Amino acid sequence: MKILFVCLGNICRSPMAEAMFTAMVAQAGLANQVVVDSAATSNEEVGNSAHPGTKKILAQHGLSSQGLVSRQIATADFYESDYIICMDENNRWDLQRIAPADATAQIYQIFDIVPGQKGHEVADPWYTGNFIVTYQDLDQALPYWLDLITKQLA
């Protein structure tokens, strides 16, 4: 199974989600069954490493930011991913606009499967400067995704 996290630039929210979810998947013993990746809808940050604020908050939680380099989503991602999980409505709109008509990946906003939270967005810390809130939002939503894929793999 492949999970792809997406945000605008792939330097703040989606790489943070990738690092967090990779650790969760490994802790659940699913690392050999689940591939976790991240990408951007835009090409503005392609080739850049994760934002210093992302690196800092990940390090504070004992998570590595090694290898987190921005890339733009590719056509192949819409076929190779099982779930493409984005951070806000603008991301979803961009993804739906660029997705091939016969794409097989399911596109969700990250809080879509969290009871009572559908439509909640993960604010972009590039603009807010608040990487702690971004981490907290992801920490709230990601366990629901782990539960979903664990059940699907059972």
Q: Which of 7, 77, 94, 137 is labelled catalytic?
A: 7
Active site residue 124: yes
Name all contacts of 27-35 with Cβ < 8 Å and 24+ positions apart.
28/146, 28/150, 30/149, 30/150, 30/153, 33/1, 33/153, 34/1, 34/2, 34/3, 34/149, 34/153, 35/1, 35/2, 35/3
Q: Which of 88, 94, 124, 137 is labelled catalytic?
A: 124
Q: Which of 13, 37, 88, 92 is labelled catalytic?
A: 13
| 6 closest CA partner among 79, 71, 66 | 71
Q: Distances in Å between the alpha carbon of 79 and those of 29, 43, 88, 144? A: 25, 20, 21, 23
Active site residue 13: yes
| One-letter amino acid for residue 49 of the chain | S
Q: So which residues are the catalytic ones?
A: 7, 13, 124
